[in-house]
Amino acid sequence: MEVVRARVGVVVPTYNEAATIGEALRRLAELPLPDLVVVVVDDGSPDGTADLAEQAGADWPDGRRVHVVRRTSKDGLGRAYVVGMQTALDLGCDIVVQMDADLSHPAEAVPRMVATLDAGAEVVIGSRYAEGGELDADWPWPRRLLSRGANLYVSVLLGLGLKDATAGFVAWRADTLGKVDLSTIRSNGYAFQVEMKWRARHLDARIREIPIVFSERAAGSSKMSMQVKLEGLALPWRLLLSKRRR
């Protein structure tokens, strides 16, 4: 596999991911990314996730670094990503990747995503629903139904033209991410993923989807609360209303 020379920042939000954070970081450390930066944004996990991330990062080879941002409370996925992405930009990353800590996103796909950016894309989505993409056979049918339904709902209302508009595995060119203006993002839960893609589409950014195999989380439980679901339902209408006002 060709070695990627760009500074790549992978942002990993965490809350009680002690069972998987070490393995997630090990997989990232094995990638052909000599100037890799991982930003772990921890929302005060009581299980010691932040400490484990720092311990794992201490063993990384020269040229690669793990930065742990410790927040004092559970403040939501979107806020964690905003902090982590801005940190990656401040660290001089050329590319910023969003990635879960629960091993559902395949770390080995990151170089492919980076290569797709190098080929001219500005945003690359690791897509479960693009041709060749797969869902883990162990993924329960209620979550499959929710995921498919959410994508259809968003696609019909917002016309994003994407197969996986709710995906959380996304790579951004730093200059494109800068144009999004992270300080103005208002969504917090999983609606954050949709709002970011909406912003990118309205910047006329070149968005590409590459297929991935999405695994069932290796440990822990989903953070999909009722509040998060309701925010996701309301978001497309809020975005459409804001566009009409402008």
Question: What pLDDT is recorded for position 244?
Answer: 52
Separation in Å, CA 220 to CA 16, 33, 98: 8, 29, 19
User: What digits encode the pLDDT tens for the residues 30-41?
Assistant: 999 989 999 999
pLDDT value at residue 103: 96
Model pLDDT, residue 105: 96
Residue 197's identity, in one-letter code, is: K
Q: Residues 8, 33: contact at Cβ < 8 Å?
A: yes
37, 9 contact by CB (below 8 A): yes
Q: Tell me which of 44-48, 56-60, 236-240 is least confident.
A: 236-240
Which secondary-structure segment (H or E) carries 13?
Answer: strand 8-14
Reported as a pLDDT band with limits 50, 70 and 90, residue 186 is confident
Q: In angstroms, rounded to a whole number, what is the distance separating the alpha carbons of residues 128 and 107?
A: 14
pLDDT higher than 90, residue 243:
no
Would you state the pLDDT for residue 91?
95
- Of residues 206 and 64, the one with the higher pLDDT is 206
pLDDT reported for residue 153? 87
State pTM to two decimals: 0.89
Percent of the chain with pLDDT over 90: 64
**Average pLDDT of every residue of the chain:** 88
Least confident interval from 36-40, 42-46, 144-148, 178-182? 144-148
Q: What is the pLDDT of residue 69?
A: 97
pLDDT tens-place string over residues 150-178: 888 888 888 899 999 999 999 999 999 99
Top pLDDT among 74 and 241 is at: 74
Tell me the H-state helices in the chain: 21-29, 49-58, 77-90, 110-118, 141-158, 174-180, 191-202, 226-245
pLDDT at position 188 is 80
